[in-house]
Amino acid sequence: MDMILAAMGDAFTWQALLAIVIGTWAGIIIGGLPGLGSVVGLTIFLPFTFGMDVITSMALLIGVYCGSVYGGSITAILINTPGTPQSAATTFDGYPMTQQGRVDEALGWATFASFFGGVLSCVLLIFCAPQLAKFAVNFGSIEVFALVCLAMLCIVGISRGSLLKGLVCGMMGFFFSTVGSDPITGADRFTFGTYALSSGLDLIPVVVGAFALSEVFVRFSARDEEATTIPEARLRFPNLREIGRRLIELVRGSFIGSFVGALPGTGAAAAAFISYAAAQKLSPRRANLGKGEPDGIIASESSNNAVTGSAFIPTLALGIPGDVVTAMMMGAMVIHGITPGVRLMVDQAQTVYALFVVLIIVNVAMLVLSKPSIGLFRYLFKLPLGFVMGGIVMFSFIGAVSVRGNPLDLVVAALTGILAYVLRRGGYPLAPLVIGMVLGPALESSLRRGLLISRGDFLSFFTHSGIAATLFVLIGLFLVWTTMAGVLDWRAKIAARREPVSPSSSRA
Amino acid sequence: MFASLIHPRVLTALALLLAGAGLSITAWQGPASAMLVPRIVLTIWCVVALAILIGELIRRVPVKRVTLTPLPLLMAAILIAAIATASLGFLIPALPLVALTLWLFRIRRPLPLLLGTIVIGGGLWFLFHHVLMIRLPALLTNGVI
Amino acid sequence: MTTLRYSLAALALIGATHSAMAADHLDIIVPFSAGGATDIVARSFEPIFSQRLGVTSVVRNVAGASATVGTAEVANSEGNPNIIGYEPAGALSIQPSLKKLPYGPDSFTYICRTVSNPMFLMVSKSSDIESFKQLVEESQEYPFLYGSSGPGTLPHLAMAALTVNSDLKAEHVPYSGSGPAMNALAGNEIQIMADTETILENYDLRPLAVFAENRVEGYPDVPTMQELGLAEMDFAVWQGVVAPKGISEERTQQYAEACKATVESDKFKSFADKAKADIAYLGPDDFKAFVQKRFAANKQVLKDAGLTP
């Protein structure tokens, strides 16, 4: 108890609180700007942390991280361009709601779901970190392979209407992720003798091209039409009754996010897609998903923000960073003489508790700062369309080139933008492209590693462990379920075509 | 028959199929272990693209009337600026690109055009390159521009 | 149009004059993304180094392709006195023999080696293997799996050399960094790993041997490879500073002095202590000879292990 009070004392200094406010606000804005994401935000702030004490520097970095994951949803909802890849799944229902004039409701749900997911994962982190970490260790390569296969299936759900087109985009994204050095043998693939390509294609430039630049092109074609004006950003929080009605969705999204975040090497974007796919199967309002249903926003935003808390589980319990961002956080700890590792919880309990308190304050700060941040975006988007689009082009360029300092990434972004525009015009959904690229590397390396471990015997994957077997059964069930639903749909359509259609029912 | 082939959707599907097939050749020539997953991915790609192509040929969506727009100009400008950045640094290609974007999006009065270019192009570059110290590609070896 | 041409010409002129002389600005390339283990050391090194040199400096993270993209950026800046690279061992001494790169060990002006940590052969503490001999015996029946932080990294090379030079039977499973490999070790997906003291301490592992000439301070009971009756195997994770080729002798000297002063400063020493990095300074000539020796040795290992033709 003394420890917790002391930790509170560490976290409630004015320096730490100031760092949280600055970090969270900057994070929301950086996340909201298309092209700039969590990594760029943290790279901006990392040098400032060198002169600070450990809690303050953690507070700043955690603020930027959590803020940026939430901020990505703002532009996803307002202009159909996710500010960060983590929010790609928010566009599915967020943008349709905007088109229906329900911006305030959409932003309200995104904000509340982000807060809910963040806090719930903090609670799990505080009370179940050792257990969850122990469970996550059971996820070896074969289990991860099964999980990622299951996640890949959400391409099917997301590309409703044109499954084939979604599938080809998913494969394209998957293919993009295989360019460059092979993760297992190190051999160069698809570089065509160009050295610059051997570092592969990064996710950020592709997302910038596929969403931000292609959106500029789409809006360009309709630049003189009234419909292209961006609606005014407002925020209306859901009331208690509305929250109660969708509580199960919030909890499910947060749990999925917390769990996926605890596995090393998956990340928030994957969590959001998995959670959305789960909502498509389980939400009571699933028929309406993709047409402007708050459940879709909840699924995506509660899970990606839940990752922010649970990504610390492997870091704190085992010293293994869950993603790039926690790796950066571990670096900041090392600078301050704290060595992350298996004994961190024991040796540095006070710091760890202070970190928990900081995480919770950051989520509260996010809720409080959402209104002024959205206000800022309201003013930005009130500018004439030309300035907004010029700004998006510029931020896309900065984001694409600064993510790893490679000018080739700009060319990748530009080419992806043109390709994405052509695909959009042809009726191809673009989200599967991102899913393929996010999940592709995990799928490939876990498969290849699994083959190394089982000495080339793929069939033994199914009997490798209880977890793997369960996941494979789930995949089988999903496939059967989807096929049956498809067949029933098709038969209903045939039946409807045979019967004479009465004028009143033909609209349905 | 020929007219139906130059339908944009058919062309897109055809291009996807050809791209997938071309990449498959590279994949099948490469080492078996490193190319295992790309081969599977590209095979699915080709099969699906073929199915899409057939689908588009059967169900021809009426062609929208093509109007001449300067969109290809904007696309080309973005691509050229992206390529030029490697050799000219970030600022010099960015300024004309921003100016052109503003112009095409109907910001044509000289003052807003000039101010917008300076603030959005130059200002953001300065903010990131010099204030936030996120180094963007530079023209001069000492990194000033 | 003519004015534009003139101003472009003027800019080019400024560029030409600038490239020839040392300015008060220095780019320090780190070939990993921000926050990684090498980046943290580089960022602690940078402020002291630039202060000694009397310039303002910026750390630029140019990540990708096993750190070779950033390294190539340094090599390609021939004659530029305002850029240096803070380089890991792999990018300088392994990668050039593994694949075709736009640089080789002769593409740099070597400045100094900063830190170097010997590598240990280790297993999980939950396993019942206590010695190298036992490890070799148990591997005969069913080969072990060893992890690494990626193909062609030092952990991979050290283990490859060990399997070639001893009776140990083990196969390689690469991961995308030490963290995921540690997760796999905790889940018993792999059984062996070769890495530095930092990993050994942080993850509470059991060292069986050390890849060094002499026993390491703090681990008096851990034998060297030679003591186990094997060929001499010397693998260490080191970092150093390189500049592009074609910079002036004077500039090289300036860099070398600043580097020496930096690694000897109390501030850097206390940081290195916290980060468990052993300071191991080598001056320009020694460092160059060291890299060339390591390069040749690693090339031989890659060949013996069948990783390169």
pLDDT in tens, A351-396: 888 888 999 999 999 999 999 999 998 888 888 888 999 999 999 9
**Using CA atoms, how far apart are residues C87 and C71, in angstroms rounded to an integer?**
7
- Domain boundaries, given as residue ranges, for chain A: 2-464
- The reply to whether B79 touches chain C by the CB within 8 Å rule is no
Looking at the partner chain, which of B9, B23, B128 has a beta carbon nearest the beta carbon of A426?
Answer: B9
Question: Which string of DSSP letters, residue by residue, matches A330-381?
Answer: HHHHHHTT---STTHHHHTHHHHHHHHHHHHHHHHHHHHHHHHHHHHHHHHH
- The reply to whether C309 touches chain B by the CB within 8 Å rule is no
Are residues C291 and C157 located together in one domain of the fold? no
**Using CA atoms, how far apart are residues C107 and C78, in angstroms rounded to an integer?**
9
Are residues C179 and C46 located together in one domain of the fold? no
CA distance C156 to chain A (A): 11
Place of tokens 């059964």: A473
Are residues C9 and C48 located together in one domain of the fold? yes
Domain assignment present for C254: yes
CA distance C284 to chain A (A): 28
- What phi, psi does C236 have (nearest 5°)? -140, 150
What is residue A504's predicted lDDT score, i.e. its pLDDT?
Answer: 45
Are residues C154 and C13 located together in one domain of the fold? no
> Which of B90, B130, B140, B144 should be substituted to probe chain C, the one whose Cβ sees the most C Cβ atoms within 10 Å?
B140
- The reply to whether B33 touches chain C by the CB within 8 Å rule is no
What is residue B75's predicted lDDT score, i.e. its pLDDT?
Answer: 94
For A260-280, the pLDDT digits (tens) are 888 876 778 888 988 988 888
Place of tokens 């390709």: A419
> Which of B129, B136, B141 should be substituted to probe chain C, the one whose Cβ sees the most C Cβ atoms within 10 Å?
B141
Q: Contact, C29 vs C83, CB < 8 A? A: yes
**Residue C161 clears pLDDT 70, i.e. is over it:** yes
**Using CA atoms, how far apart are residues C305 and C301, in angstroms rounded to an integer?**
6
Are residues C133 and C113 located together in one domain of the fold? no
Q: Sort out which chain A residues have CB atoms less than 8 A from B69's CB and list them.
A: 220-221
| Closest chain C residue to A448, measured at CA | C173
Are residues C242 and C110 located together in one domain of the fold? yes
How many other C-beta atoms are found inside a 10 Å radius of the C-beta of residue A349?
Answer: 14
What is residue A322's predicted lDDT score, i.e. its pLDDT?
Answer: 67
**Using CA atoms, how far apart are residues C108 and C104, in angstroms rounded to an integer?**
8
Q: Sort out which chain A residues have CB atoms less than 8 A from B135's CB and list them.
A: 402, 405
**Using CA atoms, how far apart are residues A209 and A424, in angstroms rounded to an integer?**
12
**Residue C14 clears pLDDT 60, i.e. is over it:** no
Of A131-135, A467-471, B60-64, C253-257, least confident by mean pLDDT is B60-64
Looking at the partner chain, which of A202, A265, A331 has a beta carbon nearest the beta carbon of C36?
Answer: A331
Domain assignment present for C175: yes
For B4-38, the pLDDT digits (tens) are 567 788 888 899 999 999 999 988 888 888 899 99
- Expressed in angstroms, the distance from the first to the final Cα of chain B is 55
What is the CA angle C167-C171-C176, rounded to 5? 140
Are residues C47 and C110 located together in one domain of the fold? yes
- The reply to whether B106 touches chain A by the CB within 8 Å rule is yes
Q: Contact, A267 vs A130, CB < 8 A? A: no
CA distance C175 to chain A (A): 8
**Using CA atoms, how far apart are residues A415 and A420, in angstroms rounded to an integer?**
8
What is the number of structural domains in chain C? 2
Q: Which domain holds residue C139?
A: 118-210
Are residues C124 and C203 located together in one domain of the fold? yes
Q: Sort out which chain C residues have CB atoms less than 8 A from B92's CB and list them.
A: 11
Mark the ranges of chain A whose per-residue pLDDT is less than 70: 1, 160-161, 226-228, 265, 322, 499-508
What is residue B2's predicted lDDT score, i.e. its pLDDT?
Answer: 53
Are residues C25 and C86 located together in one domain of the fold? yes
pTM across the whole model:
0.86
Q: Sort out which chain C residues have CB atoms less than 8 A from B133's CB and list them.
A: 58
How many other C-beta atoms are found inside a 10 Å radius of the C-beta of residue A341?
Answer: 23
Domain assignment present for C46: yes
Are residues C94 and C132 located together in one domain of the fold? no
**Using CA atoms, how far apart are residues A425 and A441, in angstroms rounded to an integer?**
28
> Which of A449, A453, A467 should be substituted to probe chain C, the one whose Cβ sees the most C Cβ atoms within 10 Å?
A449
| Closest chain C residue to B137, measured at CA | C60
| Closest chain B residue to C15, measured at CA | B140
> Which of C69, C200, C204 should be substituted to probe chain A, the one whose Cβ sees the most A Cβ atoms within 10 Å?
C69
A-C Cβ pairs (cutoff 8 Å, strict): 153
**Using CA atoms, how far apart are residues B78 and A393, in angstroms rounded to an integer?**
8
ipTM for this model: 0.93
What is the CA angle C90-C93-C96, rounded to 5? 95
**Residue C23 clears pLDDT 70, i.e. is over it:** no
**Using CA atoms, how far apart are residues A310 and A129, in angstroms rounded to an integer?**
8
Q: Contact, C164 vs C304, CB < 8 A? A: yes
- Chains with ≥3 Cβ pairs under 8 A against B? A, C
CATH of the domain at C188: 3.40.190.10
- For the residues C28-49, what does the mean pLDDT come to? 84
Are residues C123 and C100 located together in one domain of the fold? no
In angstroms, the Cα distances linking A148 to A86, A223, C43 are 16, 40, 36
Q: Contact, A220 vs A98, CB < 8 A? A: no
Are residues C132 and C205 located together in one domain of the fold? yes
What is residue A397's predicted lDDT score, i.e. its pLDDT?
Answer: 93
What is residue C213's predicted lDDT score, i.e. its pLDDT?
Answer: 86
In angstroms, the Cα distances linking B3 to B12, B54, B59, B124 are 15, 16, 14, 48
DSSP structural state of residue B120: I
Domain assignment present for C228: no
**Using CA atoms, how far apart are residues C252 and C238, in angstroms rounded to an integer?**
21
By DSSP bridging, strand C205-210 and strand C170-174 are unpaired
**Which of residues 379 through 418 in chain A touch B, CB cutoff 8 A?**
384-387, 389-391, 393-395, 397-398, 401-402, 405, 407-408, 410-411, 413-415, 417-418
**Residue C242 clears pLDDT 60, i.e. is over it:** yes
Q: Sort out which chain A residues have CB atoms less than 8 A from B128's CB and list them.
A: 398, 402
